[in-house]
Structure 1
Amino acid sequence: MKFNFKEILSVSLILFSIIDILGSIPIILNLRKKLGHIHAERITIISGSLMFGYLFLGTKILQLFGVDVKSFAMAGALILLIIGFEMILGREIFKHNTTNQGKGSSIVPLAFPIIAGAGTMTSLISLKAAYQDVNIVVGILVNLVLIFIVLKSSAWLEKKMEPGTVEVLQKVFGLILLAIAIKLIKANIV
């Protein structure tokens, strides 16, 4: 068990690009508009739990259910596809119960599949083969701090951004999300 700054930096950057929390800002703002509040702490904790679960138990959990990584990636891609259509078309497909904004109201789709989805899972499983666990854990923690900061500042971001800008960003990132979903589907199609 040895800390390696280069490995930590590599893992942090790889996860940062996969999670793309900055690119998810329009999705976060869209959910804030629907729900009124984003539970930053809860989403960060659940996302972190999922990531650590993927790191240490990912392939075993999938094998337990008889699911391979490619099938899991396809399922995550379909959810991303639906969210992308939601953002572009301005139609609500994922129904959020606004009368009961309980614990799960912003967990899906933020914690899964946006933050800790199929891309994150496959990346962590792959990183485990190339880097020491301790450095991957630190890389995950670095990303969780960044995720928390972005989620916590969503109200401030919403106030600072013009409504038209948010709408344009939402359409653009919806299209990017569709492209990512299609890429995942193409990469994992049997």
Structure 2
Amino acid sequence: MNYLRSPFWSALVLAGSALFSTLAVAEEVKIGFVNTERLFREANSAKAAQARLEQEFAKREKELVDLGNSLKTLSEKFEREAPTLSESQRAARQKQLLEQDREFQRKRREFQEDLTARKNEELQQVIDRANKVVKQVAESEKYDVILQEAVYINPRLDITDKVLKVLNAANGK
């Protein structure tokens, strides 16, 4: 029997050929990595979005801080004066403090919800711009795959600086 012509050897040769052709293709794949956290910290569009949010919400935040300080002052005053108040006065002041605290908590919750919604809007715009730039860099430099999250990445695959440069240049125009 000719062992070189047996089905076993034919399958083995075919598997070996497939393995080597896969390895040859794998060597030709160009992979890049983009650190999205750095984009959100360092991109001019992200910094501008943060500045817009701070400006937009500064007044409401100050009002909340003032309201919280006022509530704290009233509560401390009540604690000092409580022993000298009549039962009805004490109950009325406690009720007033509870209502003010409830109102403060409501306003704070609304503030957080509004801020979170606006942050998400701004973040989505930054993400959209960044993704367009990543795609542009990938196409112009012939990348096959660009990853945005990884447990480990070799620094030579990191193209974040290139993306930031293009993204910031686009924002400068």
* TM-score higher than 0.5: no
Give the greater-gyration-radius structure (CA).
2
TM-score w.r.t. the length of structure 1 is: 0.27
TM-score w.r.t. the length of structure 2 is: 0.29
